Amino acid sequence: MTEVFQLHPEPDQYSFTFGGKEPILTVPPGSVIELSTEDCYGGQVRSVDDLPSVVCKFPFLNPVTGPIAVEGAEPGDILAVHLAEVRPRRDWAVSSTFPHFGALTTTHTTAMLHDALEERVWMYEIDAEAGTCRFSARNSDYVVDLPLDPFHGTIGVAPDAFERIVTVTPSFHGGNMDTPETRARATVYFPVFVDGAHLSLGDGHCRQGEGEVCGTAVEAAMATTIVVDLIKGSAPIATPRIEDDRFIMTTGSVRPLEDAFRLSQTELIRWTESLTGMDTLDAYQLVSQAGLAPAGNVVDTNYTMVAKLPKTVLDGASVWDDVHARLRRTGEEHLRGR
């Protein structure tokens, strides 16, 4: 019998780091959790006149819901988080540029002598029925509906080595990877570094292009349903992995972007080896010809690249005893029964 938990933080209960906080919920493996997240602006940007640099207070950016402790999780284990549903909580969402943030501007680290680009806010209309988010240009009357494709930009666990990492950073613990692959109906796998794993998530996106080039997505508060489970006894994983019905995926969240590519690809090759029994060079070859390599984000304090391999080339190999399929069923049953 699947246990179902609710987690709907009060405004002052959000976290701004991975690590360094006591769990606000503890659940057994196999649980379903219905939870709420706030948008990356803490809900403070509600019109095109709400400039983030004015209405948001650093470092209170990118609130996450959690940490959620999973009973029995120990360092070396793998935490599986299935995103059964990610549903916008409002009929609007928001995006913006932000001074000194983004891939095509001087930033605090890519420091240059230019002034910051203009700070501008865009409001999107969300039509959950139609499955669209409507973009409206600010300086012309251009309007276009984009497909709704909700996911969490930020999802991760407490990091290793006593660290406490702000929620805007992605790294080996996950965090702000900002890849659209952590979308509804995917399962995300995390290395466990601390007892209980301490899962947190937030930064809901109604959709996002690959690379998140302006620095923000179509940001929204979300009503999300997840199913969590533990994988014990497997070889540890170095960085978060993702699985959906069609692909296995690995992530690399480091700088420079070459290294994010290298890390994600190396992880995918190692995974392919273990799933197919091939040696390293044969797996290298197969990934070279069959893999995909989209950018996640090229804007955050670490960059994220994703490496994807279609399951069709894996000859029916079972990934951790088909945990994805199992959690997907659990999620669907829960949503149907709701």
Q: Minimum CB separation from its own copies for residue 315, in Å?
A: 6
Residue in the structure block whose two tokens are 């019109």: 47
Q: Is 57 exposed, middle or buried (0-12, 13-18, 19+ CB in 10 A)?
A: exposed
Q: Minimum CB separation from its own copies for residue 325, in Å?
A: 21
The 8-class DSSP code of residue 98 comes to B
Q: Which is nearer to its own copies, 165 or 227 (CB)?
A: 165
Contact partners, residue 216, CB within 8 Å, separation at least 6: 40, 95, 96, 97, 98
317 touches 283 (CB < 8 A): no
44 touches 56 (CB < 8 A): yes
Which DSSP string corresponds to 78-94?
EEEEEEEEEEESSSEEE
Q: Minimum CB separation from its own copies for residue 216, in Å?
A: 7
38 touches 223 (CB < 8 A): no
Q: Minimum CB separation from its own copies for residue 20, in Å?
A: 6
Q: Which is nearer to its own copies, 31 or 132 (CB)?
A: 132
Strand 187-191 and strand 78-88: the pairing is antiparallel
CA distance 165 to 186: 25
Q: Which is nearer to its own copies, 235 or 293 (CB)?
A: 293
Q: Which is nearer to its own copies, 1 or 113 (CB)?
A: 113
Q: Minimum CB separation from its own copies for residue 203, in Å?
A: 15
Q: Which is nearer to its own copies, 4 or 238 (CB)?
A: 238
Q: Minimum CB separation from its own copies for residue 287, in Å?
A: 6
According to DSSP, the residues that pair with 34 across neighbouring strands are: 6, 225
Q: Which is nearer to its own copies, 71 or 277 (CB)?
A: 277
CA distance 249 to 265: 9
